[in-house]
Chain A
Amino acid sequence: MTGEEGAGVMDRAAGSPPALRVRVWRGGEAGGFQEFQVPRLESQTVLDVVTYIQRNLDPSLAYRFACRVGVCGSCAMTVNGKARWTCRTHVAGVAQDDTVEIAPLNNLPVVKDLVTDMREFFDKWARARGRFTGTRSRSEDFARVSPASPARREVDAAIECIGCGVCYSACDVVTWNREYLGPAALNRAWTLVNDVRDNAQAERMAAVAGDAGCHACHTHMSCSERCPKQIAPTAGIAGLKRVIAAAVLKGGL
């Protein structure tokens, strides 16, 4: 499909900035790509491009964003075949032959256009017991956790996840095994396994063990490669494998 409105804008814009050819996924799972021409600007992000299309060329385009500065994790999409956060992805870094292809995240149901249904992604965080379970009441003193302790360092390496779904979209095992919890949920579980204040360790380890959990990971490392926060979920998943295997061999789980 070709966006006639998009072509029209560029016809009127003779002498203006060079055009970027943008192929955007339209419709649901059975949709197709629609092509637009968007003025190319300096320091332009992929989210800027999508916003330009919706505000100037086709207001029916559905996409999701909030902060626009890499904090909220809302705007992840598939850009030229790779999952990325679009607000911090510059067009200059991804355009090939002045063309960018923008699609919804893989491994999640498409609601409309560039919007995916994130429910299974966050439901799996809950299945992985991704919620802190403490024992202290508000009347008790703070727990003292040394920033230099090995467990706290493991948490530090994994805690900055913004829940954007890029790792989940990039994971082959999620594609092949729909029950697999995925890198983000397991990464979250790893931060809690290393949280000395948490008292739901046995339940959490049981929840993330086995064929649908950390032991299904093939260590392809696509999640670590693609994570926009430079977290390495693969390392956390390997940690879970070790800790849980040791627990099982000692008669636990």
Chain B
Amino acid sequence: MNARTQVLLWVAQRATAAVLALCIVVHLVTMVYAMRNGLTAAEILGRTRGNTAWFAFYLIFVAAAAVHAPLGMRTILAETLAWRGRTLDCAVLVLGCALAVWGARAAWAVFG
């Protein structure tokens, strides 16, 4: 991987960190609101099903996590296990794809 791509990945991780910071705040406020008002699972699903705004929000959340987490893992694995190169890049790419698929599936589960 050339230096230019490495810099682009660094930028992607910083940008997704900013998105995640916002998404996590919204998510936590929503969770606290639901708990404090005693909303049941059925009531929560009643508000999320068919709601494209929430669906879009959680898809953005998932996309940011699917980019941010593998890039962080790439650095952690390289620095702790001295695992570098193409095999590491492929492994974290698989991790990113898995997070994207699982996350999108979860978002669809509360929308569809």
| Chain A residues packing against B (C-beta within 8 Å) | 173, 176-177, 206, 209-211, 213, 215-216, 241, 244-245, 248-249, 253
- Which residue of chain B has the shortest Cβ distance to A173 in the bound complex? B79
- Knowing A209-B4, A210-B3, the reply to whether A177 touches B10 (Cβ < 8 A) is no
Q: Which of A173, A176, A206, A241 contacts B10 (CB 8 A)?
A: A241
11 A-B pairs besides A173-B79, A209-B3, A211-B78 with CB distance below 8 A are A176-B79, A176-B80, A177-B79, A206-B3, A210-B2, A210-B3, A211-B1, A248-B8, A248-B11, A249-B11, A253-B4
Q: Could you give, for residues 1-41 of chain B, a 1 whenever the CB lies within 8 Å of some chain A CB and a 0 otherwise?
A: 11110111011000000000000000000000000000000
Q: Can you list 19 contacts pairing A with B, beta carbon distance less than 8 Å?
A: A176-B79, A177-B78, A177-B79, A209-B3, A209-B4, A210-B2, A210-B6, A210-B7, A211-B1, A211-B78, A215-B6, A215-B7, A216-B75, A245-B7, A245-B10, A245-B11, A248-B8, A248-B11, A253-B7
Q: How far is the CA of A230 from the CA of B75 in the complex (A)?
A: 29
The listed residue (A173, A176, A177, A244) touching B7 by CB distance below 8 A is A244
CB distance from A48 to the nearest CB of B (A): 38
Query: Residue among A173, A210, A244, A253 with the most chain B CB within 10 A?
Result: A210
CB proximity of A140 to chain B, nearest CB, Å = 34
Q: Identify the B interface with A (CB < 8 A).
A: 1-4, 6-8, 10-11, 75, 78-80, 84
Chain A residues positioned under 8 Å from B80 (CB to CB): 176
A176 to B75, CA, bound (A): 10
Query: Which one, B3, B78, B79, contacts A253 given CB within 8 A?
Result: B3
In the bound assembly, the distance between CA atoms of A173 and B1 in angstroms comes to: 20
* Chain A positions within 8 Å of B75 at CB level: 216
Set of chain B residues within 8 Å of A245, measured between Cβ atoms: 7, 10-11
Q: Closest chain B residue to A253 by CB distance? A: B4
Q: Which residues from chain A contact B10 at a C-beta distance below 8 Å? A: 210, 215, 241, 245
Return chain A residues, CB-CB under 8 Å to B3: 206, 209-210, 213, 253
User: Which residues from chain A contact B1 at a C-beta distance below 8 Å?
Assistant: 211
Q: Which residues on the A side are within 8 Å of B79 (C-beta)?
A: 173, 176-177
Distance in angstroms between the alpha carbons of A177 and B77 in the assembled complex: 11
Question: What residue in chain B is nearest A213 (Cβ atoms)?
Answer: B3
Chain B residue with minimal CB distance to A246?
Answer: B11
The chain A residue sitting closest to B79, CB to CB, is A176
What's the least CB distance linking A172 to chain B, in Å?
Answer: 9
* A165 CB to nearest chain B CB (Å): 21
- Docked Cα-Cα span, A94 to B84, in Å, equals 39
CB distance from A75 to the nearest CB of B (A): 30
Name the residue on A nearest B11 (C-beta).
A245
Complex CA gap A209/B3 in Å reads 6
Q: How far is the CB of B74 from chain A (nearest CB, A)?
A: 9
How far is A206 from B75 in the complex, measured between Cα atoms in Å? 20
